[in-house]
Structures are given as C-alpha cells and as structure tokens.
Amino acid sequence: MPIISKKNSVDSIFSLITGVASSVVVVLIIGILVVLLRESSLAISRFGVIHFLLSTDWNPVKESFGAASTIFGTFVTTSLALLIAIPLALGIAIFVTEIAPDFMKGPIGIAIELLAAIPSIIYGMWGLFTLAPIMSKYIEPALQKTVGALPLIGILFSGTPMGIDILTASVILSIMIIPFTASISRDSFNLTPSVVKESAYAIGATKWEVVKNVVLPYSKLGVYGGVALSLGRALGETMAVAFVLGNNHQITTSLFDAAATITVTLANEFTEADKDLYLSSLFYLALVLFIISFIVLAIAKFFLLKAERRYSR
C-alpha cells in the first residue's frame, strides 16, 4: 500500500507540473491578445472594424488608416511563396528518400537543416544585394516577354521590373520555408514501411508509381503538417520581406510592383509613430495579423484532423 501511495503522489505531481506548463501557453496567448486589444482600442473606436479592414488609405499625416492594402500584400506574398515552395520541397524530400544514393542523403539533409537555421535578416540582405538585381535584369524581363504577353494573366507581369517587388519577396519567402516542408516531408516519407514499397516493386511498379501510389498517400498527413508550419512561418516573416518588398500601401495588380505587408509595416513604421492614433493603428494591424494567423492555422489544423480521420478509416 505505501508503494502504491507513493506512486500515486509522484504521478499527481508530474501531472500538475505538465498541466501548469501547458497552461502557460494558453495564458501567454490570452495575455498577448489582451495587450493588443488594449493598445489598439483608440484605433478601434475611431475607425471601427469594417472601415479599417476595407480601407486602403494609410496616411499618417492626415491620421487616416486602413489595413486592406497590407492584408492584400500579406496574402499575396504568402500564397505565391507556398506555390513556389511546396513543389520544390516535395521534390527535395522525394529525391533524398527515394532516389539519391546513400552517400548523398546525409549532406543534402544537413544542407536543408542549415538552410532553415540562417537568420531572416541574412536572407533579406542577400535578396536585396544579390537576388533583386538578378530578378530585375534577367528573370522579370524574361517573364514579361513570355508569360506577360498572354491574355488575362499578362497584367500580372506589367510595369517596370525593379527587383523590389512582390515577386522577389515571394521568392525570398519560398526559399525560407522550403526547409520546413522538405524536412517534415522527408521524415514522413521515411516512415513508409519498406515492405510496402518492396511489394509494389515486386508487382512491377516503377519508382514514380511507388512514390505516387504508396509513399505520398501513406505520408500525406506529415506533408500537410509541414505545409501548415510553413504557412505560419510565411505569415509572420518580417525582416527578409522588408528588404525586398518596398512599402507601398496600395493594392496592385502587377507582381512587379512594390507592396506592403502587415509585418513589414510594423517593422518600418513602429519607431516613427509619434501620435497616439498612429501607434494605436499599428497595434490594430498587429491584432489583425494575430487573428488572421489564428484563423488560417486553425483551418489548416481542421483539414489536417479531417484528413487524419479519413486516413484512419
């Protein structure tokens, strides 16, 4: 009996410690939300919700602020980055797990991890001094002459290629989030039982058919998780994007135009906010980003759980 009592007491203490540790996360999130609501209360009372979300006016001199242009820039750069990064990341993961010889798997895996460890400001400096000139001199003019000549989508490649624009910022973001999706997808692919793949090869399946019909379906939940993690990273990225996006508070139709995201606006203008309403509007932007991130990641988690239930059946 004393042994059982001692064991129960240890379990109770262990459960209490882990419960407190888990509660800290919830308390921090609630605390951040409370601070953002309190600091943005002046802007909320002045502009409301609908007007602030739909207005494209961002004029500190006239003290007129709206979040539509920054929300637009955030979604466009994040979406383009995911469109570029996901196929490349999956290709890297497939090559490392299924195609590359054993002596190459280790170095490539280490390189992927190192790519994720590079600070964002280094990406931004590299993008400003190296990638932006390449984009303006070679890539963007080539896109303008080819894809830009097509009807309808040609408007996306109109204007003067400057290299400091939405496309360059999206490319930088995609490079930054590739390691997350690639690493998690690689680990998920490695969990595919060897006997399943060997059975597919035994009945005459090609390597492409094994990857498409065996590896990807078996590890799709891990891939979804990697994409969700990359989405969160892309939504909140600041410094790398600030170097190559510009600070244009307008909704543009061309990928060659400068734009603004919520994080870039906060980074560029927070120290310049010399009026209470200006500062409160920046906190309001931060609150909008907080809510957007929560909603987007909650939706991603919902689809992940839905896919998990379907897969388990």
**pLDDT (tens digit per residue) in 128-182:** 999 999 999 999 999 999 988 888 888 999 888 888 999 999 999 999 999 989 9
What pLDDT sits at residue 262? 92
CATH label of the domain that carries residue 89: 1.10.3720.10
Per the DSSP assignment, residues forming a β-bridge with 122 are none
Task: Report yes or no on 44 lying in a domain.
Answer: no
Residue 223: exposed, middle, or buried by beta-carbon count in 10 A (0-12, 13-18, 19+)? buried
Do 21 and 155 belong together in one domain? no
- Terminal Cα-to-Cα distance of the chain (whole angstroms): 43
pLDDT, position 220: 85
Give the model's pLDDT for residue 67: 92
Residues 149 and 30 in one domain: no
Same domain as 223, residue 160? yes
Query: Measured at the alpha carbon of residue 13, what is the angle toward residues 7 and 16, in degrees to the nearest 5?
Result: 140
Confidence at residue 311, expressed as pLDDT on a 0 to 100 scale:
61
The total domain count for the chain is 2
Regarding whether 244 and 168 lie in a shared domain, the answer is yes
Residues 256 and 214: beta-carbon distance below 8 Å: no
Is 263 among the domain residues? yes
Report helix, strand or coil for 266.
Answer: helix
Give domain status of residue 217, yes or no. yes
DSSP string, 205-233: --HHHHIIIIIHHHTHHHHHHHHHHHHHH
In 37-102, at which residue ranges do the beta strands (DSSP E only) sit?
58-59, 64-65
Range of the domain at 15: 1-39
- The answer to whether residue 8 scores a pLDDT higher than 80 is no
Residue 208 lies in a domain: yes
Question: pLDDT per residue over 41-73, tens digit each?
Answer: 999 999 999 999 999 899 888 889 999 999 999
18, 108: one domain: no
- Other CB atoms within a 10 A radius of the CB of residue 222 amount to 19
Q: Which of 81-95, 183-197, 277-291 is predicted with the least confidence, judged by mean pLDDT?
A: 183-197
Residues 6 or more apart in contact with residue 77 via CB below 8 angstroms: 166, 169, 170, 173, 234, 241, 245, 259, 261
pLDDT category of residue 7 using cuts at 50, 70 and 90: low
Separation of alpha carbons 103 and 143, rounded Å: 37
Is 194 part of any domain?
Answer: yes
Per-residue model confidence (pLDDT) at position 1 = 46
Are 248 and 191 found together in one domain? Answer: yes
Asked if the structure places residue 271 within a domain, the reply is: yes
> In this structure, are 111 and 215 located in the same domain?
yes
What phi and psi values does residue 65 have, to the nearest 5 degrees? -130, 140
Q: Are residues 16 and 150 both part of a single domain?
A: no
Residue 5 in this model has a pLDDT that exceeds 60: no
| Overall average pLDDT of the 232-254 stretch | 87
Q: Do 134 and 239 lie in a common domain?
A: yes
Our CA dihedral for 59, 60, 65, 69, rounded to 10 degrees, sits at 50
In a shared domain, residues 128 and 155: yes
| Contact yes or no for 89/182 (Cβ under 8 A) | yes
Q: How confident is the model over 225-239, as a mean pLDDT? A: 85
Shared domain check, 147 and 9: no
Domain identity same for 33 and 123: no
